[in-house]
């Protein structure tokens, strides 16, 4: 009986860890073009001193693996997109959403205000909304499994 109790406790702990881990906005996410469904990149979303940051860690789109930011100006001009910071210093609000002014799109070389949150119906989907004035666009990023 004692052995079964230990096994049951271990299973419960592992299941609890998996649930808490899968409900975080932090981790690796695949970006998916909301217009054509093409997987574009893997993004590492991480926390540093209470703020959210994200970098491109891998380009998935065929033919763009070595893309550089040709439209960019300043320090990003002609720099590799892989390794580029695209989200900077977002803060979590009372609703559990992360908001800020720095969602950078290397293809357009534009920075947007943004809001990011987990899909309440599926914790393996991250909703990423960029704002330009009163117009916005929302993409769904999918949790990367590798």
Lowest-confidence region among 5-14, 25-34, 94-103: 5-14
Residue 103 has pLDDT above 50, yes or no: yes
Residue 106 lies in a domain: yes
For residue 109, give its domain range.
Answer: 26-143
Total structural domains within the chain:
1
- What's the confidence (pLDDT) of residue 35? 86
Q: Are 83 and 68 in contact (CB under 8 A)?
A: no
Residue 1 lies in a domain: no
Residue 19 has pLDDT above 50, yes or no: no
User: Which of 146, 144, 133, 115 shows the shortest CA–CA distance to 32?
Assistant: 144
Residue 5 lies in a domain: no
> Which percentage of the chain shows pLDDT scores above 70?
85
Confidence label for 50 from pLDDT (cuts 50, 70 and 90) = very high
Residue 21 lies in a domain: no
Of residues 34 and 79, more confidently modeled? 79
Residue 34 lies in a domain: yes
Confidence label for 17 from pLDDT (cuts 50, 70 and 90) = very low
Tell me the pTM.
0.82
Rounded to an integer, the average pLDDT of 95-122 is 96
Cα 59 to chain centroid, rounded: 14
Query: Where do we find the tokens 């534009």?
Result: 110
Rounded to an integer, the average pLDDT of 13-24 is 53
Confidence label for 82 from pLDDT (cuts 50, 70 and 90) = very high
The number of beta carbons lying within 10 Å of the beta carbon of residue 130 is 20
Question: What CATH number has the domain bearing residue 69?
Answer: 2.40.128.520
Q: How far is CA 146 from CA 28, 42, 51, 87, 138, in A?
A: 8, 10, 24, 21, 24
Q: Long-range contacts: 32-37, Cβ < 8 Å, 24+?
A: 32/139, 32/140, 32/141, 32/142, 33/139, 34/137, 34/138, 34/139, 34/140
Residue 17 lies in a domain: no
Residue 137 lies in a domain: yes
**Lookup: tokens for 141:** 């990023």
Residue 12 lies in a domain: no
Rg over alpha carbons for the chain, rounded to the nearest Å, is 18
């Amino acid at each position: 009986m004692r052995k079964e109790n230990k096994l049951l406790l271990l299973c419960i702990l592992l299941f609890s860890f998996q649930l808490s881990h899968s409900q975080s906005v932090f981790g690796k996410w695949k970006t998916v073009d909301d217009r054509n469904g093409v997987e574009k990149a893997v993004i590492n979303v991480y926390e540093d001193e209470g703020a959210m940051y994200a970098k491109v860690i891998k380009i998935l789109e065929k033919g763009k693996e070595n893309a550089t930011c040709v439209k960019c100006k300043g320090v990003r001009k002609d720099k590799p997109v892989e390794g580029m910071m695209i989200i900077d210093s977002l803060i979590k609000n009372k609703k559990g959403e992360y908001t800020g002014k720095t969602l950078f799109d290397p293809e357009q070389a534009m920075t947007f205000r943004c809001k990011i949150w987990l899909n309440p119906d599926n914790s393996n989907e991250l909703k990423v909304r960029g704002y330009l004035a009163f117009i916005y666009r929302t993409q769904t990023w999918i949790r990367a499994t590798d």
